Amino acid sequence: MTLLDHLFIVVFSCLIAISVVRNLPIVDKLAPVLYGLILIMLVRMASVAYGGDAYLSSFSLDLLGFKMHWQFTALSWYFAIITLVAALASAVFMSGDWGRQYREGGGNYGMLQLALIVNVFSMILLLGSGDLLSLFIGWEFVSWASFLMMVLSPSKLAKKSAVKYIVYAMTGAMALMVAIVMIYAVNDSLEFEQISIVFAQMSGSSQVALVLLLFVAFAIKMGLLPFHLWQAVAYAETPGPGAAFLGAISSRMGMFTIVLVIVQFIGLGGLKSVGTSFANMQTLLAWVAALTTIIPTYIALQQHDAKRLLAWHGVGQGGYMLLGIIMFDSIGSAGGLMHVLNHASYQAALFMTVVAVMYRTGTSDLNKLGGLVTQMPLTFLVMLIGIIGLAGLPPMNGFVSKWLVYRSLLVNGQPLLFVAAVLGTLGTILSVYKLIHNTFLGQLRLEHQNVREVPWSMLVPMLGLSVIVFITGFMPGLILPWIASVQESVGLPVIAHHLGGIEYAKGGLDMIWVSGILFYGFGVGALIFYFLGGKSKRVHQYDNYAGGHFLTSDVRYHYSNNFYPGLMHLIGTWYRGSFQWLENSIVSVMSFFSVFFENIYRAKQPVMLLLIGVVLALLALYRNLGVGA
Amino acid sequence: MNHFFTVEGILYFGAISLSIIGLFGLLVSKNLFRLLLSLVLFEAGANLVLVLSGFIRNGIAPIFLDGNSGAVMNDPVPQALVLTAIVIGVGVQALALSLIFRVKKHYGSMDMRTIRSKLEREIAENAGVTPPGSNEAPAPVKLIEGENS
Amino acid sequence: MNALHLMAELIFMPLIAFIVGMMMVLMMRKISARLQRRIGPPFFQPLYDIVKLYGKDTQISHGLIHDIGIIMAVGGYIGAEILLPVPGMEGIAAKGGVITLSYFLMIPSLGMALGVGQCANPNGSIGISRALTAMLAYDIPFILVVFGAAWHYQSTSLIGMIEYQQVHQWGIVEMPLLAIAGLFALQGMLGKQPFEIYIAPAEIATGPMVEMSGKYMGGLFVMQTFQLYTAGVLYASLFLGGGTSFLTLLPKAFLVVALPMSIAFMFPRYKTEDVIRILWKWPVMLGLISLAFIL
Amino acid sequence: MNSLVLLMVLPLFAAFIIPVVAKFSSKLALFTGPVVLCINLLLIMSAWVKVGSGAHAIFLGGFLPPVGIVFYIDHFSLLFSGLIASMVLIVWPWDAKESRLYSLYMLLSAASFGLALSADLFNLYVFYELLAVATYGIIAKQKNSSATAASLRYLFISSAGSVMLLLGIAIIYTLTGTLNIAHLATMTENLHGFAGLSAFALIAIGAGVKAEMFPVNSWVAEVYGTIPRQLSALLAGLISKLAVVLIIKMLLMVFQVQAAFDLLLVVGMLGVISGEMVAWRAKDMIRMLSFSSIAHLGVLFIALSIGGSKGLWLAIAIMLHHLLVKGGLFLMADRFSGHFDKLKGLAHHSPMSAAVFLVFILSLLGVPPLPGFWIKMALVMNLAELGGGLYYLAIGVILLATIIETAYMFNLVQTMYLKADADSTPLNKRYSASYTFAKLFALLLLVSMVFVSPISKRLKDIANHSANPQIYIHTVLPARYLGEKS
């Protein structure tokens, strides 16, 4: 029995425990404890994240001649710890008051708890996979687990989008299966090492097919272009903390497999050997990543539902991760990997703030909110920290990972990708400002006058996550050893790091200094503001310039709808729904064939076919006789 | 092309033509009874092919076997088989005929197309859906509302 | 770097920036006055303005975020000034780099946006929406310029870039097209005509400034001094070889700031979409052509 | 061992006496059938033990092979006999008042047993026809007139298929002069020409009518749409498989050639794609299940095209799985059918039935760790090992079909989990015995999930044994024939 076995046993027991008690009141207290327990199990395995050996499981299965085993590398551990922290935060968040409200609203709370632990279980199973078959099984588990989470919402739209998701996910799984089959067919083995061995033996076109299949499979999970359509709506419609959890980590399983399979076993050499020198696979993937940062971000900018806005950003941020890792150098890949953790932390926090706002006001429509900062200051603080992280501004952690990605693009001389990444960041800034402005700033609505701050059971995880967002931004060196171990374990160049950031010959980064300077600046700014000048007077929100009018509470004096009209006027015409069109046209083609076959079944063609068959057969008999005679 | 004009050749040709005529009848007929007749023709052709497979020119009937006549006898097995097949065939045809009567009584028509469309409508009504092939819109292509990408 | 040096940098870099920035404001106002055939304000007018605003009796606050927004706007720039190396004071600046600096420059915008948002005045919000859109517009050429420069000098540190230019030629000589693209971006960054739709006084009542009075407005004035200083010194460091002393650096910086002001009055005010269109077309094109030469 | 003839004789006998018995006691007539089937089950079990890993042949009518009638008994045929007995028991028409229906069911089981056991091509034909007649009868016995029409249309296409089967048999006889499968297996060289292969094609397509093979399956939707669900379960679950058994016997013993495999592969692929495509547009449960059933029979043909014992074990696995799943789904449809929209709120009315439904379709889609996944995995891996463009195409088709299937199946599932509205009537019966059996099927499926390894090993053993023509020849043919050959 190794530590990994213990982990599996503990996770599985937690799954059983929660599924047993899920409808009892005790689940509220038990679930966070259990996630804490799993977290402790992971911490016991922490040596793997500091350069220790990978843990192997002593379980193995031999089914139908396929061998399966499990292992935990630095990469698995890194993703697992993010998963568990997100799960713990979501569990704490949903226990208590939020859960009560959810139950009263007709939600199936026990099922939500169950869905969460099922997700955690399947993710641990996937992360621990030791060969292609266990990877595939874990992969399917994760897909179905997120589906379970998504369908919980009673809304029709949620169910529709969940079905859409599962069709996409199944497409990905099938692509993965074909890829596995291609690998298996060569040497009758499903070990990971076979990927590189088989890849080297393959012909050029098979290599292209293999890489594309693998990429399609993983890209669908991660919501990369052009497979991004399912994700945002599906996540946005998932019940509160579930959305936070899924948005934080679920689609990053695609990132995990990309690192595990494409980066580790096909590698830069493999990607570059496919295609011409001008446009090889690396270029293709990098551009997919770049477009993924841009297009979903600008779709997010159009949304007027807070959850959907965030979910679209989740899609967009996936592009940065891929963009970083696909550079294959020490800083780029570190940035890509680190962005997984960073994104998980602020995305979960942001989703939770939106859910908290919904908890109090009942809506996440950005056109129906405003001015809540006076009522919910702590939630506002969390959202502020979160959006600074999401936009990638110092001193939050999003800045560090994005800085690493930019730096890598600079070093590798990729100006267009660099501009694309910046374009994504700028779009994000615009969009998150709209989010916080329409929710917390501006005029407070009359019906929200009595809204209070959310209870502590919801505030604690939010605040905890924002502390992570800040601390890992202030001292990225806490995370960087893990990243370095991951890089070492998948064979990438290892990043040189210290507590404040990275060392790099042509300009490094030291976040302690950067944050220090920034806070010094703020300090001086505050000094100037508070100690110079007269004392300010707080006025009512209606005491406002209105071109000579008096404002009353029935006047909506808040600018929220169509927030960026100039920009939309220009780029609005670019939102042609091309991908939606693509998806629909696939459906139309399917319909066409479907009708075609339907008519075949209705018509007499079968008899016609029979006639042809019989004529041929009898002629054959006749000729045969002739030959014999 | 000599062998086509042997006795077997001509017999085979006839049997095969009969089958093909029968099958062709199945294809083009609309009337239930004609369909049944086509089926009979088809089957007759097949039976002929089967019985021909044991046929030997100048062979004697298998019943007059006396061991030293030196004559070649026709193979008895196909004949037995064909007998069975004919019996089965007649049974099926009788059943078909009775079904035809009942269908005629119910639908008031002997036309296969009419019956098919009526049948389809009945099935669809039973299931509570619109029948296939009607002029309804193709499969629902509903976008998720508010999506634009 | 000893503690004394550190203290000196922390105190003097923003202070210098403030003083130089005020002089730039003065210069700017003088230029515009001269172009309009006026005499222009006296030497200390920028300082008087700030002192007056801070000293006012009526200081209207719309809430804590309103205050914090101003603090962030000013504080962000103060941080940025420290990261911007000037002769003799480049110890801390070495800790950052040009990417960090360009990110620092976004913080004041965000801070101001937060403060304005809290004011609950749609004019202000509209102004912010336009300002952020404009930021989106000018940052693309700006980032191309930064990339080109960093690639050309093989360094993301401004200090390294200046050293390179001291040894070799000025950036503007080696990369003239990129330098022109940079000027475009500068015009947008400073919010000068034709890119000043976001304050449009007659239409949206000066936009972001609509609810600002007293020291809030004063904060924005301080911010403006920093902004001019940053733009000037940054451009000078990127393309004009920086300077080994203030004597060589400051004239370049003043020149850089004077240029947009002098041409500003030749243009009308562009609509937001036109701002994007022009900034994404010409400077980006120039930048890309230039990059093609550099890479 | 020879008592196994009773398998066929007893139901046949029962079929004739039931109308007589019914004159005296309708209760007794009702119970005759199940009793006979139970006896058969016992016989099968004892034979299963006795046969062990060997095989046994029963010669009837006093003639020795290759002339006489032969029953060939091994685990493969016993497995199917057992399935026939249990399946007919499950769908036995308890609530029908008509004794002639019992006779027809008995006739159907007699024919099915004969089909499973016969080792003689002509007997197979006879039993096939008998089965067909029994089926037409049962369908036409339904009280609605659309069933009669559907039955008539089915009759035309099925009889045409039977005639093709007969033609194929005639060609084979012309070429070889024998119809005993074991004997045919010794003279395969005569049959591997173009004429022999076209005979195989005729047989495959002729039997394919019942096996829902692609071009000749237009009856499926009409018949399943008009008959009771239990009967659909029987037809889709079992009868279709028996027709496949006929094809398997010919394929594995006589026609182990690439052309035959290719034929099955192509019709299989067409069946899969056309079935799924049409099912995708279906808006009611029965139509969806019918076409999905066509598609899965297509998968079965693809598996058969692998050939040899590998193909056979996969085919058996697919058949068993499909029997459980599609049978179970049709049985469930007894309680809820009709337009999908009516199923809204089903999951709230009866969470259990929604869950059982989910288990079935998840296994159908091949979601790990359900058995369907392992079957799909093994199938795809075996296809890939064969290599070649057509086999890769088949992999693509199977996986594409899975995606389409996910789309429509889960469209239905999400409807079930929606809130009920005014015109939704999710359950049309409060209780139904078939539903109990469906739950049993689901349970079996879950249990087999745990025992994937031993079950697959067992199936492989059976397949290894049954796919070997030498064992077949040696068991059936008397020594002198073998002596002559060698």
Q: Give residue D1's pLDDT band: very low, low, confident or very high (50, 70, 90).
A: low
Per CB-CB distance under 8 Å, the chain B contacts of D114 are: none
CA distance A525 to D306: 77
Which residue in B8, B20, B149 is closest to A614 by CB distance?
B20
Provide the β-strand partners of residue A69. A60
Contact residues, chain A to chain B, C-beta under 8 Å: 157, 160-161, 164, 228-229, 233, 295-296, 299, 302, 305, 575, 577-580, 584, 587-588, 590-592, 594-595, 598-599, 602, 604, 607-608, 610-611, 614-615, 618, 621-622, 625-626, 629
CB contact under 8 A, D159 and B75: no
User: Is the residue at B136 inside a domain?
Assistant: no
Q: Tell me, yes or no, whether chains C and D touch by having 3 or more C-beta pairs under 8 A.
A: no
Mean pLDDT for D445-460 is: 87
Supply the pLDDT for residue A627. 44
* DSSP 8-state secondary structure symbol assigned to residue D339: B
Q: Is it the case that residue A628 has pLDDT exceeding 60?
A: no
User: Is the residue at A592 inside a domain?
Assistant: yes
User: Is the residue at A372 inside a domain?
Assistant: yes
**Domain limits at B17?**
2-61+74-127
Pull the structure tokens for residue C269.
Answer: 């005010």
User: Is the residue at B141 inside a domain?
Assistant: no
| A331 and A470 share one domain | yes
> Which of A91-95, A321-325, D185-189 shows the lowest per-residue confidence on average (mean pLDDT)?
D185-189
User: Is the residue at A425 inside a domain?
Assistant: yes
Q: Burial level of A107, CB count in 10 A (0-12/13-18/19+)?
A: middle
Q: Is it the case that residue D431 has pLDDT exceeding 80?
A: no
Per CB-CB distance under 8 Å, the chain B contacts of A584 are: 141, 143
Mean pLDDT for A259-267 is: 87
Q: Is it the case that residue B70 has pLDDT exceeding 60?
A: no
Q: Give residue B137's pLDDT band: very low, low, confident or very high (50, 70, 90).
A: very low
User: Is the residue at A537 inside a domain?
Assistant: no
Per CB-CB distance under 8 Å, the chain B contacts of A626 are: 3-4, 9
CA distance A135 to A183: 14
CB contact under 8 A, A141 and D198: no
Supply the pLDDT for residue A230. 86
User: Is the residue at A295 inside a domain?
Assistant: yes
CB contact under 8 A, C276 and A403: no
Per CB-CB distance under 8 Å, the chain D contacts of A165 are: none
Supply the pLDDT for residue D284. 83
A413 touches chain C (CB under 8 A): yes
Q: Is it the case that residue D486 has pLDDT exceeding 60?
A: no
User: Is the residue at B139 inside a domain?
Assistant: no
Q: Which residue has the higher pLDDT, A598 or C202?
A: A598
- Angle of CA points A544, A550, A553, to nearest 5°: 85
Per CB-CB distance under 8 Å, the chain D contacts of A617 are: 167-168, 171, 195, 198-199, 201-202
CA distance D62 to A264: 71
CB contact under 8 A, B47 and D156: no
CA distance A515 to A521: 10
Q: Rounded to whole angstroms, what are the CA distances from D346 to A115, A151, B69, C49, D413?
A: 21, 15, 80, 73, 9
Pick from A414, A246, A399: nearest CA to A328: A414
CB contact under 8 A, B149 and A164: no
Optimal mutation site among D316, D367, D379, D424, interface A, most CBs of chain A within 10 A: D367
pTM: 0.89
Mean pLDDT for A243-253 is: 89
pLDDT tens track for D12-54: 888 888 888 888 887 888 888 888 889 888 988 888 888 877 7
Q: Which residue of D has its CA nearest to B105?
A: D145
Q: Burial level of C29, CB count in 10 A (0-12/13-18/19+)?
A: middle
With a pLDDT cut of 70, the percent of chain C lying above it is 98
| A95 and A178 share one domain | yes
Average pLDDT across chain C, whole number: 84
| A176 and A311 share one domain | yes
CB contact under 8 A, A437 and C92: no
Mean pLDDT for D317-329 is: 89
| A84 and A173 share one domain | yes
Supply the pLDDT for residue D188. 79
Query: How far off is chain C from A244, nearest CA to CA, in Å?
Result: 25
**Domain limits at A52?**
3-520
pLDDT tens track for A450-485: 888 889 889 999 999 999 999 999 998 888 999 999
Mean pLDDT for A521-532 is: 87
Which residue in D129, D151, D163 is closest to B46 by CB distance?
D163
pLDDT tens track for C276-291: 888 888 888 888 888 8
Q: Give residue B62's pLDDT band: very low, low, confident or very high (50, 70, 90).
A: low
Which residue in B49, B88, B106 is closest to D129 by CB distance?
B88
Which residue in D137, D156, D169 is closest to B39 by CB distance?
D156
CB contact under 8 A, C83 and A407: no
Pull the structure tokens for residue A611.
Answer: 């006639």
Q: Is it the case that residue B149 has pLDDT exceeding 60?
A: no
Q: Which residue of C has its CA nearest to A506?
A: C155
Q: Tell me, yes or no, whether chains B and C touch by having 3 or more C-beta pairs under 8 A.
A: no
Per CB-CB distance under 8 Å, the chain B contacts of D163 are: 19, 22, 39, 42-43, 46
Mean pLDDT for D273-280 is: 90
CA distance D336 to C182: 70
Per CB-CB distance under 8 Å, the chain A contacts of D396 are: 178
Q: Give residue A383's pLDDT band: very low, low, confident or very high (50, 70, 90).
A: very high
Optimal mutation site among A231, A622, A623, interface B, most CBs of chain B within 10 A: A622
A392 touches chain C (CB under 8 A): yes
User: Is the residue at B69 inside a domain?
Assistant: no
In D366-432, where does DSSP find H-type helix?
371-386, 389-416
CB contact under 8 A, A517 and C92: yes
Q: Is it the case that residue A82 has pLDDT exceeding 60?
A: yes
Q: Is it the case that residue A626 has pLDDT exceeding 70?
A: no
Q: Tell me, yes or no, whether chains A and C touch by having 3 or more C-beta pairs under 8 A.
A: yes
Supply the pLDDT for residue B141. 46
CA distance D326 to D328: 5
| A247 and A395 share one domain | yes
Q: Is it the case that residue D377 has pLDDT exceeding 80?
A: yes
pLDDT tens track for C250-282: 888 888 888 888 887 777 788 888 888 888 888
Pick from A173, A177, A149, A176: nearest CA to A161: A149
Whole-complex ipTM: 0.85
**How many domains does chain A divide into?**
2
Supply the pLDDT for residue D63. 64
Which of A494, A520, A546 terminates a domain? The answer is A520
Q: Is it the case that residue C149 has pLDDT exceeding 80?
A: yes
Q: Is it the case that residue A498 has pLDDT exceeding 80?
A: yes
CATH code of the domain containing B103? 1.10.287.3510
The 3-state DSSP composition of chain B as helix, strand, coil percent (nearest 5) reads 65, 5, 30
Q: Is it the case that residue A496 has pLDDT exceeding 90?
A: no
CB contact under 8 A, A615 and B133: no
Q: Which residue of C has its CA nearest to A301?
A: C133
Q: What are chain A's partners, defined as 3 or more CB pairs within 8 angstroms?
A: B, C, D
Supply the pLDDT for residue D340. 79
Scored b (16 or more CB within 10 A) or e, A348-371 reads bbbbbbbbbbbbbbeebebebbbb
Average pLDDT across chain A, whole number: 86
Supply the pLDDT for residue A35. 92
Supply the pLDDT for residue A89. 92
User: Is the residue at B115 inside a domain?
Assistant: yes
> Which of A67-76, A129-138, A202-211 shows the lowest per-residue confidence on average (mean pLDDT)?
A202-211
Q: Give residue A606's pLDDT band: very low, low, confident or very high (50, 70, 90).
A: low
Domain segments of chain C as ranges: 3-294
Handedness of CA A45, A47, A48, A50 (dihedral sign): positive
| A244 and A156 share one domain | yes
Q: Is it the case that residue C96 has pLDDT exceeding 70?
A: yes
| A498 and A624 share one domain | no
Which residue in B50, B119, B129 is closest to D284 by CB distance?
B129
Query: How far off is chain B from A170, nearest CA to CA, in Å?
Result: 19
Q: At what angle do helices D99-117 and D5-24 cross, to 10 degrees?
A: 180
Which residue in D205, D215, D414 is closest to A163 by CB distance?
D414
Of the segments A128-137, D206-215, D411-420, which one has the largest average pLDDT value?
A128-137
Q: Give residue B5's pLDDT band: very low, low, confident or very high (50, 70, 90).
A: low
Supply the pLDDT for residue A348. 93
CA distance A342 to A399: 9
Q: Which residue of C has its CA nearest to A436?
A: C114
Please report the number of interchain residue pairs, chain B to chain D, with beta-carbon separation below 8 angstroms. 139
Mean pLDDT for D126-132 is: 89
Supply the pLDDT for residue A468. 93
Q: Give residue D66's pLDDT band: very low, low, confident or very high (50, 70, 90).
A: low
Provide the β-strand partners of residue A280. A275
